[in-house]
Amino acid sequence: MSKRMFTKEQIVEMHNNPNVVSCSDKSITFSKEFKINAIRLYKEEYLSSTEIFRQAGFDANTIPKKQAKDCLHRWSRINQKKGPGGLSENRGKSKPKREPKTVDLADSDKIKRLETEVAYLRAENDFLAKLRAKRTE
């Protein structure tokens, strides 16, 4: 991750740009539409990454050439692997919660699982009781 910090003025400027979904002092989240259009301009019209970001209203001092190029390469890889739907995913966001492992299990499997859990908890309680007993000695 970059050590670059955006100034308040740069953040305000980026919030006013329709191609930006959100912006903090360390990161920018670009809109899905901008990403798709940027990939198209880069691959089909052979525009440079700097030119694409400049046309989109970004200052070269705010988004340096290397960052723009890295973004386009990352978006291109994601688009190639997952399609345009993958571009809406935000990096660093938490994953959706998984369903419990007991869903879609047969009753006998659920019972075995619960019996194993009960045995584990009993062993844990016994261990803690012995630990408490040693402390009081």
Contact 8, 22 (CB under 8 A): no
Q: Which two tokens stand for residue 92?
A: 């660093």
Contacts of 99 (CB under 8 A, 6+ apart): none
3-state SS, residue 53: helix
Residue type for 23, please? Answer: C
The domains of the chain are located at: 8-88, 98-137
* Tens digit of each residue's pLDDT, the chain (137 residues): 457 788 888 888 888 999 998 888 888 889 999 999 999 999 899 899 989 999 999 888 888 888 889 999 999 999 898 888 888 766 655 556 666 666 677 888 889 989 999 999 999 999 999 999 988 87
| Distance of alpha carbon 63 from alpha carbon 14, whole angstroms | 10
Number of Cβ atoms within 10 Å of the Cβ of 129: 10
Which residue bears the tokens 């046309």?
A: 55
Cα 11 vs. chain centroid, distance in angstroms?
Answer: 21
